[in-house]
Amino acid sequence: MWSDLKKISNQVTLLRFLFLFIMWLGVFQKKPTYYLAFGFILCGITDFLDGFLARKLNQITEIGSRLDSWADNFLLISGILWTVMLMPEIFTDNKLIFLVTLGTYITFLLVGFIKFRRFANLHLYLSKFSTVVLYAFLVHAFFIGSYSKTFFYFTVGISFISALEGITVFLISSEVNENMGSIIFNYIDENNPIKIWFKRHFHNL
């Protein structure tokens, strides 16, 4: 299994861990916040590339999937910690909505771990969209050194709904299907044009 780390798609994922380490160094060295903004852009690029390369080169592996999940979760947790450390007003101005959204995400992780003994990344379309929105919010906030409340509410709203979908999928599933796309697709025929369109255009993301 560890030999799969030599695959280019998994090496791209490992780059995300390296970027995370460098970003933490920047925080401890009190670099300007835009330092983190560029880090998030690089992490976003690797997040897209590892999945794209894995499917394009037929390099989908179990360890690659787990590494991708760990990298995503570590980056999200780090992003939350960085906002509290460097831009505490995001937390102090929105304590309730911040804690509710964070609690829902933690519940998603715990339900998946308790039921399947792993931090599974479901690769749901809504989850992918919420990740893009979160990256965009953090890049915007760290780049200019302040945050937009409208952008914040939109980000946490999408993240909350995404986490709820993930929890529901875990509760009704007997095994982890990381490429189901959406819980709605469980109840739609395979030949449905909407389902076909989504899988054709977003399956490789």
Structure confidence at residue 10 (pLDDT):
84
**Full pLDDT tens readout for the chain, 205 residues:** 556 677 888 888 899 999 999 999 999 999 999 999 999 999 989 988 887 887 787 877 778 778 888 888 899 889 989 998 999 999 899 999 989 998 998 898 888 888 877 666 667 888 888 988 998 999 999 999 899 999 999 999 999 999 998 888 888 877 766 666 777 666 566 665 655 555 565 555 5
pLDDT value of position 161 = 93
- DSSP for 7-62? SHHHHHHHHHHHHHHHHHHHHHTT--THHHHHHHHHHHHHHHHHHHHHHHTT---H
Q: What is the pTM of this model?
A: 0.79
d(CA 141, CA 123): 26
> Can you list the domains of the chain with their CATH numbers?
2-202 (1.20.120)
Q: For the chain, how many helices (H) and strands (E)?
A: 8, 0
Closest CA to 104 of 153, 159, 152, 171: 159
Supply the pLDDT for residue 120.
62
Contacts of residue 30, defined as CB under 8 A and 6 or more positions apart, other chains included, come to none
- Give me the phi and psi of 189, to 5 degrees please: -60, 145
Residue 137 CB contacts under 8 Å (≥ 6 apart), including other chains: 147, 151, 152, 155
* pLDDT at site 105: 87
Task: For CA atoms 147, 151, 153, 159, give the dihedral sign.
Answer: negative
